[in-house]
Structure 1
Amino acid sequence: MTFASKKLHELAEVFSGYAFKSKDLGEEGLPVVKIKNVNDKIVSKQCDQFLPNNLVTERLKKYLLQKEDILVAMTGQGSLGRIGKMINQKGQYIVNQRVGIVRSKVEDDSVAEYLFSVLALDEFEQQLYSLGAGAGQPNVSAVDIGNLDIPYPDKSSRKFISKARANYDNLIENNNRRIAILEDMAQSLYREWFVNFRYPNHEDNLEADGKPKLIDSPLGQIPEGWEVKSAAEAITINPKTKLVKDGEKPFVGMSGLSEGSMVIGDIIEKTGNSGAKFINRDTLFARITPCLQNGKTGYVQFLTPEQPVGFGSTEFIVLRESEYLSSEFIYLLSRSNNFREHAIQSMTGATGRQRVHNDCFASCYLPVPPKELMKEFTELVKPMFKSIFNLSKRNENLKQQRDMLLPKLISGQIEL
């Protein structure tokens, strides 16, 4: 059985976001959704620029993100064709240029839901990418997107397909929320213990007046018994790790690192060994602009005894545990503002291609706690890291099941 098809523009209005002037964007107002927000079938709510509310004219209201809108990345190597939808949208967002908006014009909610089920298939993302590939800066137009052929079954079939996708997506989103909560808990513990110095039994180390017993250091006052060391001393940076050239091994490109989570995605099998080499429990830290500023960082947990070493982008700095700091501590440190800001300030090179140099870590100083305290912290957060990995694996399985089932439903291979 096969379904009839329609052109996307018959079912939806397709247009690009608004071309804002840089001078109009600031740090307050409506969040502006850009291409980087559209990834992995969702639209991230983490926006770095805002349109002041007093500039939102009647003409711009068309570009306000609506609940059922589907967004398409219309340009960029590695981003063109990505599809996303914002989950649990609260508040208003406005869409920037080169992000396509697909807005159903059929008075039937099932159509909007169904269109997302179709467009979010990998084959449609690849089709969009192929339409714009070949140019130095690949891109597609709203007309290109609107001319896509969309399989179009009857209403009951559309609802069934949409419901199937929604069930999978809800399970994945629930797991993502749990991952975010666990990461936030680990970050909160890190800040409480090692930034605010309110670690367990810290009250045992008090002066007669009840204030913490602190000593002077190059970093200011730190708890008695702690040391100051440079990151170059306290962290094993870009350690030599052997990896043979022959055969396929796990490879992670820059796209595999998240801007807000330790979870690493887009892992492929690849021959060769050129690039950063890493093992489980290493932190992968982006060294190039704008990836570093955007927060791209990952924590390796996916390697197996059969493949204990992986490799990745030459633009990764590998941070490995040492006798002073555990791998969990190092990952959380790498997410801290002070550590990242020091790395960013050290960047050199041409505009748009600036990089961190390893020697910057010799001038980045850290308060290093006693080994007993480090061990206690690690034992507390290690199960959180493991749970995050297990949840991410569960999500990968759910995505595989979803992406095997939906094309068969949409093509009519499975009768409804």
Structure 2
Amino acid sequence: MPDIKGAKPLATYISVKHGFAFEGRYFCDEPTPHVLVTPGNFAIGGGFQEVKAKYYAGPISQDYVLRSGDLIVTMTDLSKAGDTLGYPALIPTTKDRVYLHNQRIGLVSIIDPGQLDRGYLYYLLCSDAYRNHILATASGSTVRHTSPTRICDFSIVLPPMKEQQAIARTLRALDDKIEQNRRMGRTLEELAQATFKAWFVAFEPVKAKAAGHRTFPGMSTAAFSALPNHLMGSPHGSVPQGWAVRTLAEVFDINPPRRLSKGQDAPYLDMKNMPTDGHAPNSWERRPHGSGMRFINGDTLVARITPCLENGKTAYVDFLGDGEVAWGSTEYIVLRPKPPLPGVYAYCLARTPEFRDFAIQNMTGTSGRQRVAASSLNHYHIAVPDAVTAAAFGDLVLPLFKSIRAGKAESLKLAGLRDFLLPKLLSGALRVTSKAAS
């Protein structure tokens, strides 16, 4: 906004500090309290996201320890479009992690907090005007870079402090509700996975029955009564008596055919929008059908390529209309359990470390281009539960998935409202008073 009367560069109000180049020899996979913040921790559009942690076990200077609430920006982006370049995030409050100020990350400090509100600054750094400035001044083609100087060259006109605070509170209220939905979705996802592991991996209800218990938490009385009361040996370990051990190909339809005409307009889900932390895809679109996998509601999609498989990209399909067929990348496998197993069984199985490790071990191809062949799943074995237990699992988990889906749908609407309001509030086209925002 350099041509606006009274505009001043951000350098008038802030400074941006480079991060430290921590030594690679101290990076480790084993968890430590110290986690390096990377560009991957920045969400598209702004905000902090948890990703696979990069732990550090070396010497640390307190000058590069980030505090809860610190405002940071990413100064490097590997995508051609610079998806997250220059966007802000706030360091979260955690009990078990200390975040380190890594290279390629800028720490933003406000020179005079009496002139500029941190919450207002955060949303200013999410605005299209700032975003356009960052992309226009970025260097590099394959890897995009910005710098403290380029960030601080962006010009702004500040409204009065009370109005800044009111704008920040209005937008933060929407983001807080979105974050609340995200946390609830993650909790419900964890509950579904814990239930699957208890019932079908550790066989805890059967063990409880063998120990003389008459109920098991979360399991209906009818389902508990139908369980056997002891485990038996099998070539694949101990399994509940009467539960047949079968290959995945025997109890799942793998990449089942779906009718979809070439060129027909249909929902499309690409690998980019496959989720890593919950069953629901982030977004999808409609486009003419080409070469790709086809799926319907109740199917599970599992990434079969490096590094998407390792990152846990998995989706349960429940977002389509009745009878609708969708399509997407050829780089995931479509799984659909046969009765009596409910559709959610395949999703929860695919999210287990045991299944992921098996798939990774069966990848073939050259480095960087490895894939899991669908045929390799013929060698994965499961103990098939009785119909009563299978149905009880579906009855318990499906409502959790519906709640996750509803939370995501609400969050999408709230994000749309926030994105609509943000430029209008920052430009002054829409005013909000401190009384209205309080």
TM-score relative to the length of structure 2: 0.84
Higher mean C-alpha deviation, range 138-147 or range 19-28: 138-147
Residue of structure 1 equivalent to 2:300: 283
Q: Does 1:187 align with 2:193?
A: yes
What does 1:21-36 correspond to in 2, within 5 Å? 21-26=23-28, 27=30, 28-36=32-40
- Aligned partners of 2:207 and 2:230 also within 8 Å: no
Q: CA–CA distance in 2 between the matches of 1:73 and 1:296? A: 26
Please state how far the C-alpha of 1:12 moved relative to its aligned partner.
Answer: 2.4
- Aligned partners of 2:13 and 2:116 also within 8 Å: no
2:21 to 16, 19, 22: 19
Residue of structure 2 equivalent to 1:74: 76
Closer, same or farther in 2 for the Cα pair 1:292/1:204, shift >3 Å?
same
Once the two structures are superposed, residues 109-164 of structure 1 have per-residue CA deviations (whole angstroms, 9 ceiling, x without a partner) of 95221111122245644654455487233333343333333452221221111011
Please state how far the C-alpha of 1:194 moved relative to its aligned partner.
Answer: 0.8
Q: Does 1:237 align with 2:254?
A: yes
Secondary structure of 1:291's counterpart equals coil
Residue of structure 1 equivalent to 2:336: 320
- Aligned partners of 1:276 and 1:313 also within 8 Å: yes
Q: CA–CA distance in 2 between the matches of 1:16 and 1:111? A: 22
Q: Does 1:44 align with 2:83?
A: no
Secondary structure of 1:102's counterpart equals strand
Q: CA–CA distance in 1 between the matches of 2:300 and 2:288? A: 22
Q: Does 1:254 align with 2:265?
A: no
Closer, same or farther in 2 for the Cα pair 1:172/1:360, shift >3 Å?
same
- Aligned partners of 1:282 and 1:318 also within 8 Å: yes
Closer, same or farther in 2 for the Cα pair 1:84/1:320, shift >3 Å?
farther
1:213 to 230, 234, 241: 230
Unaligned runs of 5+ in 1: none
- Aligned partners of 1:215 and 1:223 also within 8 Å: yes
Q: CA–CA distance in 1 between the matches of 2:317 and 2:130? A: 30
Unaligned runs of 5+ in 2: 213-227, 433-438
Please state how far the C-alpha of 1:317 moved relative to its aligned partner.
Answer: 1.8
Closer, same or farther in 2 for the Cα pair 1:316/1:124, shift >3 Å?
farther
Please state how far the C-alpha of 1:247 moved relative to its aligned partner.
Answer: 5.7
Q: Does 1:266 align with 2:272?
A: no
Please tell me the root mean square deviation across aligned C-alpha atoms, in Å. 2.8
Residue of structure 2 equivalent to 1:406: 422
What does 1:122-133 correspond to in 2, within 5 Å? 124-125=130-131, 128-129=134-135, 131-132=137-138
Residue of structure 2 equivalent to 1:369: 385
Identity level (%): 31
Please state how far the C-alpha of 1:196 moved relative to its aligned partner.
Answer: 1.8
Q: CA–CA distance in 2 between the matches of 1:106 and 1:161? A: 19
Please state how far the C-alpha of 1:219 moved relative to its aligned partner.
Answer: 1.2
Q: Does 1:203 align with 2:205?
A: no
Residue of structure 2 equivalent to 1:165: 171
How many equivalent pairs are there? Answer: 407
Closer, same or farther in 2 for the Cα pair 1:109/1:250, shift >3 Å?
farther
Please state how far the C-alpha of 1:89 moved relative to its aligned partner.
Answer: 4.6
Closer, same or farther in 2 for the Cα pair 1:242/1:46, shift >3 Å?
same
- Aligned partners of 2:71 and 2:90 also within 8 Å: yes
Q: Does 1:85 align with 2:90?
A: yes
Residue of structure 1 equivalent to 2:410: 394
Secondary structure of 1:302's counterpart equals coil
| Structure 2 letter corresponding to 1:282 | D
Q: CA–CA distance in 2 between the matches of 1:179 and 1:371? A: 28
Higher mean C-alpha deviation, range 126-135 or range 368-377: 126-135
Q: CA–CA distance in 2 between the matches of 1:140 and 1:176? A: 30
Closer, same or farther in 2 for the Cα pair 1:126/1:239, shift >3 Å?
farther
Once the two structures are superposed, residues 361-388 of structure 1 have per-residue CA deviations (whole angstroms, 9 ceiling, x without a partner) of 1111112111221011101111111111
Q: CA–CA distance in 2 between the matches of 1:323 and 1:13? A: 61
| Structure 1 letter corresponding to 2:320 | L
TM-score relative to the length of structure 1: 0.88
Once the two structures are superposed, residues 220-260 of structure 1 have per-residue CA deviations (whole angstroms, 9 ceiling, x without a partner) of 11001111112222222222223334464332222212222
Once the two structures are superposed, residues 303-322 of structure 1 have per-residue CA deviations (whole angstroms, 9 ceiling, x without a partner) of 224x8222222322222232
- Aligned partners of 1:71 and 1:101 also within 8 Å: yes
Please state how far the C-alpha of 1:47 moved relative to its aligned partner.
Answer: 4.2
| Structure 1 letter corresponding to 2:99 | Y
Please state how far the C-alpha of 1:325 moved relative to its aligned partner.
Answer: 2.6
1:117 to 109, 113, 123: 123
- Aligned partners of 1:68 and 1:112 also within 8 Å: no
Please state how far the C-alpha of 1:66 moved relative to its aligned partner.
Answer: 5.0
